[in-house]
């Protein structure tokens, strides 16, 4: 007999029944965990409200398996929160992470005229899973809140740190050294430039902490800067061993209707000096014309207003240093210019309304001390430990303090 190479139908059926479970298992074997996830850094441009001037960012995770999209937003706050304004003043601001969807959030930013950019990140499946799990843990109610700090712990630094943790520190390693020489003050001033009054108040309130030179890592407290620096970050391709960009695709979801922020902060030193000198000369002039009622009224009103404004400003600066956790306001050298002792001169300036005004010895000495401290603010600039960039305020206020001191000394000498 010769071998029969044909399969009997019953044999074929038996083989199918025996081996089908193995084939079925191979077909339905689960994919690599995280392969169904897509991760993107989403950046929103500046808005019109004061708290929107710095922009915003979030992490978007899409799950192709379930069709869901989750947008993780740090830096969420609520004005209705209990003791919000008291906590704000004390520097103990409780912020939180919130989870939403692009369908919920994107229309809001479009209506506000803010641009939206998505940067799809080339992460491994394991990194995507790690990031999603970390964000979900952080979004639990018991973990969602955190103490906010303007420069070192805000919405953007939290996003940066989460992405850096997922990449095993690749972002920090590549951004901790490069720098373009900017400082916290420079970024704050340029971004707040559309609100001059707020910008000036913020600049006056920032101490030397705000004048340290920032690496790209530090400057990523600004969402737009984090977006820009992410374009330069690379990771290792596990297949080829070569480096590849972390940002795989960048997509502009919406364009802005609002103007872009300035690239540099304003440089108003010479304008401030011109205003300060002009104000000082005007004070001296009306002080010399005291024989006329309008001159006495003008001098008394100007001197009282200046001392009251600068004195109260100094009280605020002192309180920020001594009573709050606003570390960016500590050791503020502007206390030499916004001098709280100026409040003690108010009786003297009000008294200058009298035609026969004669300032007391205490008032004369105090005015000289206040002017000398303002001069000290200028001379401190030559010493390396005093790095605060308050040149504009020195240029503006030193001539005014000098003029007030000269006016009171001149009157006492009559």
Contact 412, 362 (CB under 8 A): no
pLDDT at 385 over 90: no
* Residue 89 resides in a domain: yes
* Residue 210 resides in a domain: yes
Name the pLDDT band for 414 (thresholds 50, 70, 90).
low
In this structure, are 226 and 355 located in the same domain?
A: no
pLDDT for the residue numbered 413: 61
* Residue 139 resides in a domain: yes
In this structure, are 207 and 299 located in the same domain?
A: no
In this structure, are 64 and 158 located in the same domain?
A: yes
Range of the domain at 383: 269-412
* Residue 21 resides in a domain: no
**Of the residues 231, 254, 277, which one is the last residue of a structural domain?**
254
Residue 252 bridge partners (DSSP): 117
Q: What is the CATH number of the domain that holds 173?
A: 3.90.1720
Mean pLDDT of 196-204: 96
Name the pLDDT band for 412 (thresholds 50, 70, 90).
low
* Residue 150 resides in a domain: yes
pLDDT for the residue numbered 3: 42
In this structure, are 276 and 246 located in the same domain?
A: no
pLDDT for the residue numbered 82: 79
* Residue 263 resides in a domain: no
Mean of per-residue pLDDT scores for the chain: 91
Q: Which two tokens stand for residue 177?
A: 């050294």
pLDDT for the residue numbered 345: 97
Q: Which two tokens stand for residue 51?
A: 């708290």
Percent of the chain with pLDDT over 90: 80
* Residue 7 resides in a domain: no
Q: Residue 66 has what DSSP assignment? A: T
In this structure, are 327 and 191 located in the same domain?
A: no
pLDDT for the residue numbered 241: 84
Comparing 76-80, 152-156, 299-303, 377-381, the range with the smallest average pLDDT is 76-80
In this structure, are 87 and 196 located in the same domain?
A: yes
Mean pLDDT of 158-184: 96
**Of the residues 254, 285, 307, which one is the last residue of a structural domain?**
254
Name the pLDDT band for 51 (thresholds 50, 70, 90).
confident
pLDDT at 18 over 50: no
pLDDT for the residue numbered 1: 39
pLDDT at 357 over 50: yes
pLDDT at 125 over 60: yes
Q: At what angle do helices 184-191 and 196-205 cross, to 10 degrees?
A: 160
Name the pLDDT band for 5 (thresholds 50, 70, 90).
very low
In this structure, are 233 and 98 located in the same domain?
A: yes
Kindly report the number of other CB atoms within 10 A of residue 27's CB atom: 7
Mean pLDDT of 116-125: 97
CA dihedral defined by 91, 311, 370, 411, rounded to 10 degrees? 180
Q: Summarize pLDDT for 55-112 with one digit per residue, the tens.
A: 999 999 999 999 999 999 998 887 777 788 788 888 888 899 999 999 999 999 999 9
Q: Summarize pLDDT for 216-238 with one digit per residue, the tens.
A: 999 999 999 999 999 999 999 88
pLDDT at 130 over 50: yes
* Cα-based angle 234, 239, 244 (whole degrees, multiple of 5): 15
Q: What is the largest CA-CA distance in the chain?
A: 143
Closest CA to 184 of 91, 75, 265, 73: 265
Mean pLDDT of 22-28: 45
Q: Summarize pLDDT for 283-339 with one digit per residue, the tens.
A: 999 999 988 999 999 999 999 999 999 999 999 999 999 999 999 999 999 999 999
Tally of domains within the chain: 2
In this structure, are 287 and 393 located in the same domain?
A: yes
Where helices occur in 289-345 by DSSP H, the ranges are 293-323
How far apart are alpha carbons 17 and 113 in whole angstroms? 63
In this structure, are 240 and 315 located in the same domain?
A: no
* Residue 9 resides in a domain: no
In this structure, are 197 and 57 located in the same domain?
A: yes
In this structure, are 151 and 280 located in the same domain?
A: no
pLDDT at 40 over 50: yes
Mean pLDDT of 23-44: 75
pLDDT at 30 over 80: no
In this structure, are 49 and 173 located in the same domain?
A: yes
């Amino acid at each position: 007999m010769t071998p029969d190479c044909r399969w009997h139908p019953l044999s074929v059926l038996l083989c199918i029944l025996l081996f089908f479970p193995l084939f079925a298992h191979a077909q339905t074997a689960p994919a690599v965990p995280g392969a169904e996830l897509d991760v993107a850094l989403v950046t929103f441009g500046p808005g019109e409200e004061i708290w929107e001037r710095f922009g915003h960012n979030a992490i978007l995770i899409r799950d192709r398996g379930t069709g869901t999209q989750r947008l993780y937003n740090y830096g969420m706050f609520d004005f209705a929160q209990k003791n919000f304004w008291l906590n704000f003043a004390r520097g103990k601001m409780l912020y939180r992470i919130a989870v939403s969807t692009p369908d919920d959030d994107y229309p809001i930013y479009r209506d506000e005229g803010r641009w939206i950019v998505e940067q799809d990140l080339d992460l491994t499946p394991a990194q995507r899973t790690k990031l999603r799990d970390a964000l979900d843990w952080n979004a639990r109610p018991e973990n969602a809140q955190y103490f906010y700090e303007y420069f070192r712990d805000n919405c953007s630094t939290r996003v940066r740190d989460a992405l850096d943790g997922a990449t095993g520190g690749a972002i920090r390693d590549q951004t901790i050294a490069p720098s373009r020489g900017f400082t916290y003050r420079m970024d704050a001033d340029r971004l707040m430039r559309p609100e001059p009054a707020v910008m000036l108040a913020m600049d006056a309130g920032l101490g030397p902490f705000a004048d340290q030179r920032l690496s790209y890592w530090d400057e990523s407290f600004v969402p737009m800067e984090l977006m820009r620096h992410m374009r330069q970050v690379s990771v290792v391709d596990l297949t080829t061993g070569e480096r590849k960009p972390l940002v795989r695709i960048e997509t502009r979801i919406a364009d802005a209707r609002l103007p872009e922020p300035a690239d540099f902060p304003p440089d108003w030193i010479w304008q401030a000096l011109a205003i300060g000198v002009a104000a000082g000369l005007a004070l001296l002039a009306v002080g010399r014309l005291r024989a006329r009622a309008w001159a006495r009224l003008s001098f008394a009103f100007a001197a009282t207003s200046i001392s009251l404004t600068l004195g109260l400003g100094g009280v605020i600066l002192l309180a920020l240093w001594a009573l709050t956790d606003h570390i960016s306001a500590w050791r503020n050298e502007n206390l030499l210019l916004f001098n709280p002792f100026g409040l003690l001169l108010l009786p003297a300036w009000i008294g200058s309304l009298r035609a026969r005004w004669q300032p007391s010895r205490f008032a004369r000495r105090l005015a000289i001390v206040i002017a000398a401290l303002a001069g000290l603010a200028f001379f401190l600039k030559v010493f390396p430990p005093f790095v605060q960039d308050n040149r504009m305020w020195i240029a503006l206020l030193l001539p005014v303090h000098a003029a007030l001191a000269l006016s009171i000394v001149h009157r006492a000498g009559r």
